[in-house]
């Protein structure tokens, strides 16, 4: 926020029409605030509050908020399973592994596992997206995945061409310009000090030395898109 000085400001009208107009704008803004907050949360965006440190999330995500904050504000974590039965988890205690720690020669499958549960009668309720390293096929457990995505992900990798793992976090951080503590508007703001956390995962494989690849984008609410 900024403040402007001008010599051209007109005095506010004090008529009933002005009051009506202000009420109309205020009510509209309240509705828009509620509606956009709901839609942002449904999209998996987390709203943070600097002063309190609280994260606003849907009630369905609340049970996982502690883990979310513990594991670097991420909704999905990876787990590598090796051919010999060994595993490597993204987090071991308070230590986070980089994906380059994964031994791709020993890799059997790489799984992205949601912190949150999906409403399902399956015994496993987390959303799990698995890259089968030997075939290059990507499979899904839980979540709503379109047929187009399933078809795209069910094509095997080309034989006899070495592939490399594609695993990135795409992180978006948005913030407001703040309001001055001396502003006469400050007492009327209820949620000015917000920021937005929006994470996505770029997941798949690429044939080494070429642009041939199979990559999906996983959104923080579990929705999946075909990658670029």
Partner 1 sequence: MAATFTWTQEYGASGSSTKSDLGISGNLFNFKNADDATAANYTTYPVVAGTNSYDVWLLGKFTGSFNKVDNTQFWMSTDFSPNTGLTVQWSCQDAYQTPSTGDTYASAAIPTADPGSQNVSITGDTTGCLEASGYTDWIVLQLQTTTGAAAGDTSLATFSLQYDEQ
Q: How far apart are CA 216 and CA 226, in angstroms?
A: 5
User: Contact between 24 and partner 1 (CB under 8 A)?
Assistant: no
Q: How far apart are CA 113 and CA 128, in angstroms?
A: 5
User: Contact between 141 and partner 1 (CB under 8 A)?
Assistant: no
Nearer to partner 1, 64 or 99 (CB): 99
User: Contact between 31 and partner 1 (CB under 8 A)?
Assistant: no
Site string for partner 1, 47-86 (x = CB under 8 A): -x-xx--------------------x--------------
Site for partner 1 in 147-166 (CB under 8 A): none
Q: How far apart are CA 43 and CA 52, in angstroms?
A: 23
**Residue 122 in tokens:** 């399956």
User: Contact between 191 and partner 1 (CB under 8 A)?
Assistant: no
Select from 24, 26, 35, 173 the one that contacts partner 1 (CB under 8 A): 173
Q: CA of 148: how far to CAs of 15, 40, 42, 59, 222, in Å?
A: 58, 25, 22, 30, 16
Select from 181, 187, 190, 209 the one that contacts partner 1 (CB under 8 A): 181
Tokens 């199979």 appear where? 214
């Amino acid at each position: 926020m900024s403040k402007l000085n001008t010599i051209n400001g007109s005095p506010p009208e004090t008529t009933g029409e002005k009051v009506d107009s202000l009420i109309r704008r205020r009510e509209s803004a309240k509705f828009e605030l509620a509606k956009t907050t709901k839609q942002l949360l449904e999209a998996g965006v987390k709203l943070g509050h600097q002063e309190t440190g609280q994260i606003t999330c849907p009630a369905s995500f609340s049970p996982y908020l502690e883990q979310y904050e513990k594991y670097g504000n991420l909704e999905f974590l990876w787990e590598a399973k090796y051919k010999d039965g060994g595993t490597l988890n993204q987090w071991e205690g308070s230590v986070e592994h980089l994906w380059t720690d994964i031994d791709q020669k020993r890799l059997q499958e790489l799984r992205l596992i949601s912190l949150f549960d999906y409403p399902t009668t399956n015994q496993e309720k987390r959303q799990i997206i698995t890259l089968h390293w030997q075939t290059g096929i990507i499979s899904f457990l839980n979540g709503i995945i379109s047929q187009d995505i399933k078809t795209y992900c069910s094509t095997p990798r080309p034989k006899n061409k070495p592939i490399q793992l594609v695993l990135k976090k795409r992180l978006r951080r948005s913030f407001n310009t703040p309001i001055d503590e001396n502003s006469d508007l400050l007492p009327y703001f209820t949620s000015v000090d917000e920021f937005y956390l929006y994470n996505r995962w770029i997941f798949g494989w690429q044939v080494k030395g070429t642009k041939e690849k199979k990559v999906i984008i996983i959104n923080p609410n579990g929705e999946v898109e075909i990658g670029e």
